[in-house]
Structure 1
Amino acid sequence: MMTKLAEVCRHIRSKNAGPYWVTFDLFFDGPENFTRYSDHPALGPALMQRLFGADPALVQRYPVPRLNMLKISYARTAAQGGMVERDMHCGQQFVRLLDVELD
């Protein structure tokens, strides 16, 4: 059975990072899972492209080992607050990450 991201994180959140960026914070449930999964290829730019239409060249990753946290940010395809915006603050975007398979 495949390990899912939601099984190795104690908290996952998403938010806007200004009008042009979206950020995900993945708080792993301990240093072991942070070390094992924070640099996992399944959490790379290709995932952000597949799930959110992000340009892989504009995906940024920021590991924060003392918090067992990985921050992943990508440039929005359109500025925040557009006419067809469905989640202006990006607070619900993390849901797509919960079932990402890691192993």
Structure 2
Amino acid sequence: MPVIKLPEIASVIRSKNSGPYELTLDIIFKDQKSFEAACRSQIVNQSTIAKLYGIQEDEVIGIVEFSPAYAIKATIIRPYPSGALGETDVYGAQQHAPLLDLELEMD
């Protein structure tokens, strides 16, 4: 089975605020086949997100597979509240980069 990087099968990989204390990571897949392959592989899970973002697994507060949009959403606790001293991304829009190197097997 070929191994491919997430950006090859996702049309959108983004991050954004989910309130001042949480950050949401969205992956929207190009098609149903890609979405289902990602769901089967469980590539987006608490352990993977925690490792990618250098946080504890209990700081990954939710992962949702939303089939009508071919999307997977993960929500994590922000290391710094939005706008706090030392925080560098008020809108949370520049936090998706660690997801770009994820790989999965396509069948």
Give unmatched runs, 5+ long, in structure 1.
Answer: none
Change (3 A) 1:92 1:65: same
Aligned equivalents of 2:37, 2:88: Cα separation in 1: 34
Aligned equivalents of 2:54, 2:35: Cα separation in 1: 26
Does the aligned pair in 1 maintain the 2:80–2:86 contact within 8 Å?
Answer: no
Percent of aligned pairs with the same residue? 29
What is aligned with 1:34? 35
What is aligned with 1:10? 11
Change (3 A) 1:39 1:17: farther
Aligned equivalents of 2:32, 2:20: Cα separation in 1: 33
| Structure 1 runs, 4 residues or longer, greater than 2 Å off | 38-42
User: TM-score of the superposition, structure 1-length normalised?
Assistant: 0.87
User: TM-score of the superposition, structure 2-length normalised?
Assistant: 0.84
Q: CA RMSD in A?
A: 1.6
Where is the strand percentage greater, Structure 1 or Structure 2?
2
Instruction: Figure out how many residues of one structure are paired with residues of the other and give that number.
Output: 103
| 1:5-41 CA-partner distances (Å, limit 9, x unpaired) | 1011011111010011110111011111111103533
Give unmatched runs, 5+ long, in structure 2.
Answer: none
